[in-house]
Amino acid sequence: MKRRTLLAGSAAAALPFAPARAADRTKIVWWHAMTAALGDQITRIADEFNKSQDTVELQAVFKGGYADTMNAAIAAFRAGQAPHIVQVFEVGTGTMINAPGKVVKQVWELSKETGIPLEPKTYIGAVRGYYSLPDGRMASMPFNSSTAVMWYNKDAFKKAGLDPEKPPVTWPEVVKAAQAIKAANAAPIPMTTSWPTWIQLEQFSALHNLPFATKSNGFEGLDAELTFNSKHHVKHVQRLLDMAKDGTFKYSGRDNAPDAVLYAGDAGISFGSSAARGTLVKTAKFDFGAGYLPYDPEIIKTPMNSIIGGASLWTMTAPNRTPAEYKAVAQFLQFLAKPEGDALWSQNTGYVPVTFAGFELSQKQGFYDKNPGADLAVKQLARGTTTTNTKGLRLGNLSEIRNIIQEELEKALQGGQTAQAALDSAVTRGNKVLRTFQKTIKA
């Protein structure tokens, strides 16, 4: 019953509210999930778009966190009131791309119908791949993308006798550094990680060119099976368990909860989103540095590209929506792809530029010279050639699979089970989620 009221409530709130001015402009609504300073940037983008032309009026509406925004859009669709554009986080991609019938209009479809070119080639491979069909056609519009990096506390490094300008690059080096930090008592927490699943399993798989799931990580079929219980994955989780045991690794919660530890400077080494830079620059009371995600030299000699996180923009359909409205949406998406806007957005937020031109413009403007390390995320995303293991994940209900993995990891960290048992159990439970998803889609 609670769910019903939630759905009804959000559906009622879903009625697009359009201001009365400029009656002849086509009005489109964009639901987003960006808070605080990021929300201000959205307002800026909407204003600039509205000023840049006089046929479309875009209204940006904040709908809560990522999950709330997606749920609101789903409820609104069910009520025939879906917004024109909705920002959906990367784990929702599987659900959106497999949406039946005419729920969404994918980018290639929108471009074909409206005749407005939206070129996939404009976008950085690792970004584009996550939101594309296996044949390269784009399904949703890349918008705010980040990847995971290693943040470290230079003050703690100095105190522990480590070179603050040379962060560890392999896992054995990370372990040694964490031990040195612990031995010197240089930070309350030697090492921690945000997004334990995204970083320690999903990114780990991409970096080492290991499949996270069969069927090219789910890109090529709903019948994909999870494969993150290989001996390499088990070895890595066992390493984390061993580090937790000797006090060099501290588990600080699910999803982004451990960010608080990073911002406070309590951690010597912490893994987190590259988009944490914005907050760190503004609030950190310690000297921080960024490094590439470490790799295990026993598995791979040169690590592959990392995968993205963040969100993309989906075009939704509703009964009575006119071709003019879709055209307006396409115009806005085209506007977003301009290098000036892309560069400014990434410089103001800490997200990576999603277009090549945006990255080059930032370089030309000297942003990366003034902010050393800010381009590390882009370099890590763009290095090497992407393989089927490094394009990202296309799994239904990935957020639930992440929850399951976190639950099993927590059980292992409590000493309740071994690394192998934790990953086996997460794979079994996760596969069940995938089968349920497959069943509902096929229905």
Partner 1 sequence: MDRRTVFGGWRLPVLLVLPQLLLTSFFFYWPAGEAVWSSMTSQDAFGEGLTFVGWDNFAELLDDPLYLEAAVRTVVFCGAVSLLAMGLALALAVFADREVRGKHAYRTLLIWPYAVAPAMSAVLFLFVLDPRVGLLGRWLNQMGVDWDYHLNGNQALLMVVMASAWKQVSYNFIFFLAGMQSIPRAVTEAARMDGAKGWHRFRTITFPLLAPTTFFLLVVNLVYAAFDTFGTINALTHGGPGKDTETLVLKVFRDGVVNHDIGSSSAQSVILMVGVIAMTAVQFRFMGRRTES
CB closer to partner 1 out of 201 and 413: 413
CB closer to partner 1 out of 100 and 136: 100
Is 237 near partner 1 (CB under 8 A)? no
Asked whether the CA dihedral 98, 145, 218, 421 is positive or negative, the reply is negative
Q: How far is the CB of 335 from partner 1 (least distance, A)?
A: 28
Is 428 near partner 1 (CB under 8 A)? no
* Binding to partner 1 in span 254-273, by CB under 8 A: 254, 257, 260-261, 266
b/e 307-334 (16+ beta carbons within 10 angstroms → b): bbbbbbbbbbbbeebeeebbbbbbbbbb
Asked whether the CA dihedral 3, 6, 10, 11 is positive or negative, the reply is positive
String of DSSP letters for 99-157: --TTSEE-HHHHHHHH-----GGGB-HHHHHHTB-TTS-B-SEEEEEEEEEEEEEHHHH
Q: Which stretch binds partner 1 (CB under 8 A): 66-74, 217-225, 297-305, 380-388?
A: 66-74
Number of residues that bind partner 1 (CB under 8 A): 46
Q: How far is the CB of 298 from partner 1 (least distance, A)?
A: 29
Q: How far is the CB of 411 from partner 1 (least distance, A)?
A: 5
The tokens describing 226, both together, are 């999870």
CB closer to partner 1 out of 200 and 386: 200
* Binding to partner 1 in span 103-122, by CB under 8 A: 103
Is 67 near partner 1 (CB under 8 A)? yes
Is 77 near partner 1 (CB under 8 A)? yes
CA 87, 89, 95, 98: dihedral to nearest 10 degrees?
Answer: 60
Q: How far is the CB of 90 from partner 1 (least distance, A)?
A: 15
Out of 25, 27, 44, 78, the residue judged to bind partner 1 by CB under 8 A: 78
Q: How far is the CB of 430 from partner 1 (least distance, A)?
A: 12
Q: How far is the CB of 372 from partner 1 (least distance, A)?
A: 30
Q: How many CA atoms lie within 13 A of 10 on its CB side?
A: 23
Q: How far apart, in whole angstroms, are the C-alpha atoms of residue 213 and residue 173?
A: 28
Is 21 near partner 1 (CB under 8 A)? no
Q: Is 141 exposed, middle or buried (0-12, 13-18, 19+ CB in 10 A)?
A: buried
Is 13 near partner 1 (CB under 8 A)? no
Q: How far is the CB of 409 from partner 1 (least distance, A)?
A: 9
Is 413 near partner 1 (CB under 8 A)? yes
CB closer to partner 1 out of 254 and 394: 254
Is 207 near partner 1 (CB under 8 A)? no
String of DSSP letters for 313-372: EEEE--TT--HHHHHHHHHHHHHHT-HHHHHHHHHHHSPBPSBHHHHHHHHHTTHHHHST
Q: How far is the CB of 120 from partner 1 (least distance, A)?
A: 25
Is 6 near partner 1 (CB under 8 A)? yes
Asked whether the CA dihedral 263, 266, 272, 274 is positive or negative, the reply is positive
Q: How many CA atoms lie within 13 A of 368 on its CB side?
A: 18
DSSP 15: S
Rule CB under 8 A: which residues touch partner 1? 1-6, 8, 67, 71, 74, 77-78, 95, 98-101, 103, 251-254, 257, 260-261, 266, 397, 399-400, 403, 406-408, 410-411, 413-414, 416, 429, 433, 436, 439-443
